[in-house]
Chain A
């Protein structure tokens, strides 16, 4: 009797979990473990031997100046993207929750950039930055736009931030709208009767009560922008002169152009640790601002 149950349960397990576990194991778990091993070997495609070298790859990553330059570039990009995209999203969400006609359509409209993959989005902005804006700059004499932003490192940086924020804003807006709708109307009314201005209501009540939404949005925009690749590839292609390579772009180049699998993998793991530490710290800090309504 007992044995029969065991057999039946085993069968049940493989029937219900077998296919997913198989795929998960061979697509995720095994490569994940191989990845750690990879960082401890000297692995490049040409030699194809994979001799064990210990932590040499990590040492190489820490010594590699270009790696730190691009990591710092990525962190700056993430910082400004998080700020710009969240401010934009909050502004749109506030406007849309203020009792406007056709909120549903406006929301749908503001959301559209998010449907489009990074490659298409990057090419779209590339045409704007390299052709349309310089044209307008020439015509109306705006010095800011007279040359293409993509040929200058600092401006290409902002091009990346703007294009990414444009994409994220609609996505974050949806979450902010959900957060703002949860703010009880009577609290806002009471504050207004007590003579609080619009700005004070926004700062002291609406934003305070929407802190959970802010935590989620900052976390999402932060972790997503740290991993940006497609947009980087199609908008700037790392240029001019490799000055706008974000972390993923750099890792892909290292692994699949220079064929340095071990070093590339070590860089990927360093990136993962950096993202995890920053994302968790900010969530912890922001959560402290949470209040009960």
Chain B
């Protein structure tokens, strides 16, 4: 009995120790983000003495953190909003109206999900470059909508299939139009999918680098991943501020995760199993 309990305790200790080792890359970078670069190079595992907050002020200013943050927030919020809105409507149409064209379009969208972005990026840049539409946040948001809609339609389609038609019918009898019925009766029922899809899309758009790096050319439009890239390219050896910059870039998404932890885990699981 005693041996068993000891065994159990040992196992728990091991798992928690494992977590510390697993997260040590973060811990080391956090530790060193408070040091002068020179001290970091001399001894990267020593405790910072004194704690140097100037790195953060330095990084904040040099990578123009607020600009990157505001751009990323705007692009992420609007992209996710339009994806949710329009893909839920389309998913609804595809479930409730079994027209041939709807079935074909649904199939095309499913097929599109298997095509990696790498196959699209070169013609995309060429076409939008020729039209003079690059270097605009609006274009980028629109592109996220185009790339995000198939998964959205697919997920809403799967969920709406399971909702009975009776509710909507009684709403039509009351004289409600189709669009009003959708927004008042159907949309509130879609909450679980909305949350799952929002989580997946927020993580995707917020962290994306390749698409914005091709579309947003001027520094004024940079998102956080682009800002951190530019920051590292310019100050490649001044590790103190660079690490502070990394931590600052991580914080917003970490806060998002801490607030919505269960939803994120649920969203990731469902998204992966789809």
Distance in Å: Cβ of B7 to nearest Cβ of chain A: 12
Given A216-B272, A230-B209, A272-B118, A135:B145 Cβ within 8 A: no
Given A27-B146, A111-B265, A230-B225, A34:B273 Cβ within 8 A: no
Does A95 lie within 8 Å of B124, measured CB to CB? Answer: no
Sort chain B's interface into a size bin: 35 or more
User: Residue of B at shortest CB range from A17?
Assistant: B90
Distance in Å: Cβ of A157 to nearest Cβ of chain B: 19
Distance in Å: Cβ of B209 to nearest Cβ of chain A: 4
Does A32 lie within 8 Å of B93, measured CB to CB? Answer: no
Bound-state CA distance A101–B11 (Å) is: 11
Distance in Å: Cβ of B160 to nearest Cβ of chain A: 12
- Give how many A residues have a beta carbon under 8 Å from the other chain's beta carbons: 80
Given A120-B249, A128-B28, A38:B126 Cβ within 8 A: yes
In residues 38-57 of chain B, which contact A (Cβ within 8 Å)? 40-41, 43-45
A69 close to B (CB within 8 Å): no
In residues 163-197 of chain A, which contact B (Cβ within 8 Å)? 166, 171, 174-175, 178
Report A1-16 CB contacts with B as 1/0, cut-off 8 Å.
0000000010011011
B114 close to A (CB within 8 Å): yes
In residues 224-265 of chain A, which contact B (Cβ within 8 Å)? 227, 229-230, 233-234, 247-248, 251-252, 255-256, 261, 264-265
A114: chain B residues within 8 A (beta carbon): 268
A135: chain B residues within 8 A (beta carbon): 43-45
B145's partner among A13, A23, A112, A223 (CB-CB below 8 A) is A23
Distance in Å: Cβ of B247 to nearest Cβ of chain A: 9
User: Residue of A at shortest CB range from B112?
Assistant: A28
B105 close to A (CB within 8 Å): yes
Distance in Å: Cβ of B240 to nearest Cβ of chain A: 11
Does B45 lie within 8 Å of A136, measured CB to CB? Answer: yes
Given A117-B225, A261-B126, A23:B23 Cβ within 8 A: no
Bound-state CA distance A271–B147 (Å) is: 20
User: Residue of A at shortest CB range from B258?
Assistant: A108
Bound-state CA distance A112–B87 (Å) is: 29
Does B86 lie within 8 Å of A31, measured CB to CB? Answer: no
B28's partner among A32, A98, A132 (CB-CB below 8 A) is A132
B3 close to A (CB within 8 Å): no
Given A32-B119, A100-B15, A116-B250, A24:B109 Cβ within 8 A: yes
B265: chain A residues within 8 A (beta carbon): 107-108, 111, 174
Bound-state CA distance A32–B127 (Å) is: 11
Does B146 lie within 8 Å of A26, measured CB to CB? Answer: yes
B114: chain A residues within 8 A (beta carbon): 276
Given A16-B92, A106-B15, A119-B229, A24:B122 Cβ within 8 A: no
B208: chain A residues within 8 A (beta carbon): 117
A27's partner among B43, B145, B206, B239 (CB-CB below 8 A) is B145
A227's partner among B108, B118, B257 (CB-CB below 8 A) is B118
A205 close to B (CB within 8 Å): no
Bound-state CA distance A26–B142 (Å) is: 10
Distance in Å: Cβ of B125 to nearest Cβ of chain A: 7
Does A272 lie within 8 Å of B119, measured CB to CB? Answer: yes
Report B106-146 CB contacts with A as 1/0, cut-off 8 Å.
00110010111111111111110000000000000011011
Does A124 lie within 8 Å of B246, measured CB to CB? Answer: yes
Does B207 lie within 8 Å of A123, measured CB to CB? Answer: no
Does A96 lie within 8 Å of B15, measured CB to CB? Answer: yes
Bound-state CA distance A92–B21 (Å) is: 13
Does B146 lie within 8 Å of A108, measured CB to CB? Answer: no
Bound-state CA distance A269–B40 (Å) is: 45
B40: chain A residues within 8 A (beta carbon): 131
Bound-state CA distance A112–B272 (Å) is: 17
B45's partner among A109, A132, A178 (CB-CB below 8 A) is A132
B232 close to A (CB within 8 Å): yes
A286 close to B (CB within 8 Å): no
A275 close to B (CB within 8 Å): yes
Does B89 lie within 8 Å of A16, measured CB to CB? Answer: yes
Distance in Å: Cβ of B40 to nearest Cβ of chain A: 7
Distance in Å: Cβ of A144 to nearest Cβ of chain B: 17
In residues 177-218 of chain B, which contact A (Cβ within 8 Å)? 178-179, 182, 203, 206-210, 214
Given contacts A17-B94, A135-B45, A265-B122, 13 further A-B contacts (CB under 8 A): A16-B182, A19-B82, A19-B86, A20-B86, A26-B146, A111-B268, A115-B253, A120-B250, A127-B29, A227-B118, A252-B121, A261-B126, A265-B119
Q: Can you offer 15 A-B residue contacts whose CB atoms are under 8 A?
A: A9-B99, A17-B102, A19-B145, A23-B145, A27-B145, A30-B127, A34-B127, A106-B19, A109-B23, A110-B19, A110-B22, A174-B272, A216-B272, A234-B229, A272-B116
Q: 10 closest Cβ contacts across the A-B interface? A: A27-B146, A117-B207, A16-B93, A23-B146, A31-B123, A34-B123, A35-B123, A20-B86, A23-B145, A20-B90
